[in-house]
Amino acid sequence: MSDARSGGGAFLSDIKTLRSRAREHIAQGAVTPGYHADRSVVLKLLNEALATEIICTLRYKRHYFMAQGIHAEGVAEEFLQHAQEESQHADQIASRITQLGGAPDFSPDGLASRSHAEYVEGHSLEEMIKEDLIAERIAIDSYREMIQYLGAEDSTTRRMLEEILAKEEEHADDLARLLEGIGGH
């Protein structure tokens, strides 16, 4: 008797094999033998992304409080919302790192050098918006590269990064419009 898998080229393992493999490697948590990406590279990339999100959270917080001081309430609210969303991204990434059996790096030592984007305070409202836009564009490029690198090797991480990337594009768009609104370019 032949089954669907005997023809070669099958990609589905039978349930019994899946179950016994799951029992064998249970200590590895969510990382099963079917995980094809290079885990140490993925963890390193995710920790860099985590540092980037923490730096972006801090920069937006600073800009939020400083913009309030110069009576730019509308812009300040946008900064605050971005700060909250970057912080959510950091949490999502940290959670995925632990799922993959790694440890999220929250250490303040070397945080700025692990981050892709920079922490720039900016003196005027226009400078703050510009620096945030630059940081978003850096984040967009680095997420795009990570997504490309992951391909089909780790689709869960890839999907999470795609979601985050969409949000960063939204942030960049918000900032471009704010810059236009205050007459900067």
Give the binding site for Fe ion (CB under 5 A).
53, 86, 89, 136, 168, 171
Q: How far is the CB of 49 from Fe ion (least distance, A)?
A: 8
Q: Which is nearer to Fe ion, 18 or 147 (CB)?
A: 147
Q: How far is the CB of 114 from Fe ion (least distance, A)?
A: 15
**Using the 8-state DSSP alphabet, how is residue 34 labeled?**
T
Q: Which is nearer to Fe ion, 89 or 116 (CB)?
A: 89
Distance CA 123, CA 174 (A): 20
Q: How far is the CB of 89 from Fe ion (least distance, A)?
A: 4
Q: Which is nearer to Fe ion, 31 or 138 (CB)?
A: 138
Distance CA 13, CA 81 (A): 45
Q: Which is nearer to Fe ion, 39 or 167 (CB)?
A: 167
Q: Are 184 and 130 in contact (CB under 8 A)?
A: yes
Distance CA 145, CA 45 (A): 10
Q: How far is the CB of 97 from Fe ion (least distance, A)?
A: 15
Q: Which residues contact 131 (CB under 8 A, 6 or more apart)?
A: 59, 118, 120, 122
